[in-house]
Amino acid sequence: MKDGMIFPFKKTWRSRLDLEYLDETSARKVAARIDQSQSEDQTDHTAVGKKLKQFSDYASKETMGQVHAGGFLHHRIILKANGSRSSPMSLSNTERKKRINEAWFEHLQQFKTSSSNPVIQHRLVFTMSEAFHDKLVSAGLNPDVVLQSSLKTVLNRFQQRFHPKDSIGYAYGLHHDTDNLHAHVAICPRTANGAYVGLSMSRTRESGNKNQMTYLMRSFDRENRRWDKLLSDPEKLRQHLEKRLDADKIAIHPKIPVKQLESLRQEETLYATRLRHAYEGIQKLERELQKRRQAQRAVRFIRRVPLLLGRRKPKAVHTAEKVAGAIEKLSIREMQSLLFRMKQTYRDDHRIYSQRYGFITKPQTHAYHRTQPQSQGQRQVF
């Protein structure tokens, strides 16, 4: 689709597993940007890294430079040596990449091959067009979350189509360092049960290829059409978002600079007071939600300690903990839903205030825009 997400790149690697290219902040990626900048413009040394620093307000630490595992690899990296599990987000990015690398090769070594040059990984790039990106931002949606969600949906469909009752493994990272928001994906060439994962570009009787790439692109087109349909109907979009567990993360809201917030505190108009209270309320609820999530993870760990020591809990205690955990989970979801609704209301208030009084902020600060004109050559993916 012209104005949706596109799928322009695929490559198979046989030499090594390279997870550093998934991390937009890694030394390898930074060096590649420096080399490219020097080759294209020897006079502008200050341009290096500008695009990376200019990514929009919605991009956060949760997506910036982070490498994530999906499929069966996700379950492998959260397992500890003692049998317990850890949250992927509780691991540092370096530790996460290390665990993915170890799990990847441990898995491949289980399945011997006669090839002298076996496939180590398949590389894919999912790119979001600027038009579609800005359409999402205008609707108050986080493009990072949409791309991440669509990527997982498409790969899940791929798994169900070509490897039913099995699981594929992959790693990915979002990148904001070029003209278009995009995701680099590395797919493990073996499923959880050892079947070969092919990504052929064609289908012939002689080769037996299944043209998996065409299916992936069609699946992405299907996602594009789904999002286009939702974006064209605000009411359906709102209903869809309210049902999502990540509603609070996918919804974004305009940021107010410190100086402008100070000015709002000094104003005595109803609009200024309402806008300031809404903004501060969102910030407060976000902090409370983060604390509740951290506390929830801590409680889960404490409850697993007796099991790690080989002690079984009484059935009554185990049941009580499950009920308490379910109540806490429901409470967090209610907070997420409330935060989503607050962001929606705040966006309306922000728009009304901007139309009446204006803001000192730069226009479209929450959309992803290039910092300087770039040639077609700069649009390539490293």
| pLDDT higher than threshold 70 for residue 238 | yes
Higher pLDDT, 65 or 249: 249
pLDDT band (50, 70, 90) for residue 56 = very low
Alpha carbons within 13 angstroms on the beta-carbon side of residue 344 total 16
Q: Which pLDDT band holds residue 80 (cuts at 50, 70, 90)? A: low
Domain ranges of the chain: 5-246+372-379, 258-356
**pLDDT at residue number 107:** 93
Partners of residue 373 on adjacent β-strands: none
Answer with the residue of higher pLDDT: 71 or 262: 71
pLDDT band at 92 (very low <50, low <70, confident <90, very high): confident
What tens digit of pLDDT does each residue of 188-205 get?
999 999 999 988 876 655
Query: Mean pLDDT, to the nearest integer, of 276-285?
Result: 92
Nearest Cα to Cα of residue 136 among 177, 184, 181: 181
Q: Is the confidence at residue 125, as pLDDT, over 80?
A: yes
Give the model's pLDDT for residue 290.
Answer: 86
Helical residues (DSSP H) of the chain, grouped into ranges:
27-40, 50-53, 72-77, 93-109, 130-138, 143-162, 212-231, 234-243, 247-250, 258-266, 270-308, 315-356
Q: For residue 44, is pLDDT > 80?
A: no
| pLDDT greater than 70 at residue 232 | yes
**Is the pLDDT higher at 172 or at 12?**
172
- Sheet of 182-187: strands edge to edge? 5-13, 121-128, 182-187, 169-175, 68-71
Average the pLDDT over each of 70-74, 321-325, 333-337 and give the range with the smallest value. Answer: 321-325
Higher pLDDT, 226 or 61: 226
| Mean pLDDT of all residues in 2-19 | 76
Distance of alpha carbon 170 from alpha carbon 147, whole angstroms: 16
Examine the pLDDT at 131 and tell me if it is beyond 50: yes
Using only the alpha carbons of the chain, give its radius of gyration: 23
Taking alpha carbons only, the member of 219, 208, 282 closest to residue 248 is 282
Q: What mean pLDDT is reported for the chain? A: 78
Is the pLDDT at 207 greater than 80? The verdict is no
- Summarize pLDDT for 156-188 with one digit per residue, the tens: 999 999 999 999 999 999 988 777 889 999 999
Confidence band, pLDDT 50/70/90 cuts, at residue 363: very low
What pTM, to 2 d.p., does this model score? 0.77
pLDDT of amino acid 222: 92
* Residue 302 or residue 94, greater confidence: 94
